[in-house]
A and B are shown apart, each in its own frame.
Chain A
Amino acid sequence: MSTETETAAEERASRSLLDRLRASPFLSELLSNRLAVFGLTLIVTMAVMAVYARLFLDPEALAHTELGTNPSLAGPCGDPTVLGALQNFASCQFPFGTDLQARDLFLRTVYGAWLAMKYGTIIVVASTTFGVGLGIIAAYYGGWIDNVIMRTMDVLLAFPSLLLALALVAIFGVGLWKAVIALTLVYTPRFARVVRGAALKVLEDEYIDATEALGARDGRVLLRHVLPNSLAPITVQSTLNFGLAIIDLAALSFLGFGAQAGTPSWGLMLTNGVDNGLLTGQWWWSFFPGLFLAVTVLGFNLLGDGMRDALDPRMRETVD
């Protein structure tokens, strides 16, 4: 009898972390979803690029303009046609070409990954935190507190998201950080609504009554029981909104309300592509920054979608 339990314990210990992760139904479901794994790969690639850019690229140097060259003619690898660019690829100084100010578009696009990841994370973490706080408080206390919080959220949700962001930008003024604050406010209500729903479900469970009967204070019940048990929908919501946040931030920069001239942000690079390169055919000004933006967002959408399918057994049965 005792030897049997010992071997069982040994087996448990020898099981690698990966095996244990595989044992979780959520993760095994997620990892068997090829599209979700592909999405994760895209995100990791972008994250690595972002870290590289942060460590080895100097934003000051990227804003620097080299005068005296004729930049507008230099396409990717020195050729303004797609085929030419591909042929010259082996011996290539500027794989993505240069922009109107003769700046290396490749390095600027790579640095854009750092900006997108950094500010995307800030928006998602901040709006998740506020949304989780508001949602859990609304669900736990109910009554007028619930009403005040959720009706305010309803009003914010009555605006299309980019429009609310623009209205807030009109109030706050122009700038990358102001755009980040505006988008945080735009995304908070979505989290509040999801979290409130999830928390209400948790609060119905009997163990919450038991905890309260044992004398646990509000804060403890909320943090130790309601929050951990609502984590799954929160994570899915965060992942799906990460992509949206990156697009919306780039959109604000594109419209001229976010990142300001000189910043190597994808949105701003696309402004240059549309304002200066559209009718004269400098396709690389729009193509590369937009491609990186779309690929990043696709990564988050693929992963988030897979997570939602893995979490919701009803979806799994009917859809897959």
Chain B
Amino acid sequence: MISKRYIVKRLLLLIPVLLGVATLVFSILQLSPGNPARVIAGERASEAAVREIERRLGLNDPIWVQYGRFLWDLLHLDLGESYVYRRGQPVAGLLRWKFPITMELAVFGQLAGILFGIPIGIISAVKQDSLTDHLSRFGALTGISVPIFWSGPLLILLFSVTLGWFPTSTRIGSEYTAPQVTGLLTVDTLLLGQYEAFISAVHHLFLPSLVIGVYSMALISRMMRSSMLEVIRKDYIRTARAKGQGAKITLMKHGFRNALIPVVTVIGIQFGSLLGGAVLTETVFAIPGVGKLLVTVIQDGDYPVVQGIVLVFAVVFTLVNLLVDLTYSYLDPRIEQ
């Protein structure tokens, strides 16, 4: 069991980290070149118009006043307004529909990683030092070496352009209108009972998920392998075998379940780099999620949107990491000490 004290302690430790994250995000706008008021007003606006915007946004206030206001707004989930991309629109509202797109991609990628990574790792461990084992280990190292912006284009060229098996970009066939309930297309289409649209959405997600999931697949299979190897040498496995239990049952009942613990950690930690990988995957596959948006708004100098995206990513990443730690100590209570 996991003690309440430990959870509270971990939650309290979260506060300084999140405050630090907020401070760093705040400094993006403060340290970046150029005058935001000038960006909003446009190149040809009069000096007076720029002054007016500066006054309205409080850009001339002392920095600690601006910092306080930034934190206060954050507590109210107010991420400010976009300068350029959708001028005057609240950033929070913008991310509301963009973020699910990225999450969907990341979740499907992670699913691909788990579905392939875990069996590969187990087979590799059971057949240690066989050709299969060597191939899968070499494959895993290759998997973490191949950049998304290489594997993505090559898969598009092969499967979409040459063979025509998969669509090249976007999220759903043009004959369907994307429903907006949660923002997750696969969930929304199912909720509304539009099964053909669901198939189309999954069809569109297939290649991008595969590309983004390869890295997870590699890390998960490696961790599964070494964890499995460690576990099957344990005394309780020998005991189970000695009392006459079959090799396969022992492997699954005692081996697999215990070996899974460190794999859970990798799955969680991996989720963070998946969010980073989403930026590249969305750029290659022209998926209109937050990752692609981030690239656009950095180019445009739309700093409130940059701040919003970076902040949301960091908070999600931190929370997922916390969840992983808590799961880990739930599965293995010795961790708390």
A112 to chain B, nearest CB (A): 13
B307 to chain A, nearest CB (A): 9
- What are 20 A-B interface contacts by the 8 Å CB criterion? A35-B141, A154-B16, A155-B21, A155-B23, A158-B20, A159-B317, A162-B277, A247-B147, A251-B148, A254-B283, A255-B280, A270-B153, A273-B153, A278-B157, A283-B154, A286-B157, A290-B151, A297-B147, A302-B141, A319-B226
Verify if A192 is at the interface (C-beta below 8 Å from B). no
Encoded as 1 (CB less than 8 Å from any A CB) or 0, chain B from 134 to 162 comes to 00011001101111111111101100011
Contact of A278 with B147 in the complex, beta carbons under 8 Å:
no
A247 to chain B, nearest CB (A): 5
Contacting A at CB under 8 A, from B101-128, are none
Task: Give the size of the chain A interface in residues (CB under 8 angstroms).
Answer: 50
A267 to B306, CA, bound (A): 23
Partner of B276, one of A161, A295, A319: A161
A243 to B144, CA, bound (A): 10
Say yes or no: A270-B149 contact (C-beta < 8 A), given A151-B16, A169-B298, A278-B161.
yes
Encoded as 1 (CB less than 8 Å from any B CB) or 0, chain A from 143 to 170 comes to 0000000011011101111110011011
Partner-contacting stretch, out of B26-34, B43-51, B239-247: B26-34
A294 to B145, CA, bound (A): 6
Interface of A, secondary structure class, is helix
Contact of B276 with A160 in the complex, beta carbons under 8 Å:
yes
Contact of A158 with B318 in the complex, beta carbons under 8 Å:
yes
Number of A-B contacts (CB under 8 A): 152
Partner of A305, one of B24, B141, B153: B141
A291 to B27, CA, bound (A): 38
Contacting B at CB under 8 A, from A296-317, are 297-298, 301-302, 305, 315
Say yes or no: A158-B276 contact (C-beta < 8 A), given A250-B147, A270-B153, A274-B153.
no
Q: Which residues of B contact A247 (CB under 8 A)?
A: 145, 147
Q: Which residues of A contact B33 (CB under 8 A)?
A: 173
Contact of B20 with A155 in the complex, beta carbons under 8 Å:
yes
A302 to B295, CA, bound (A): 32
Partner of A278, one of B153, B233, B276: B153
Contact of A298 with B20 in the complex, beta carbons under 8 Å:
no
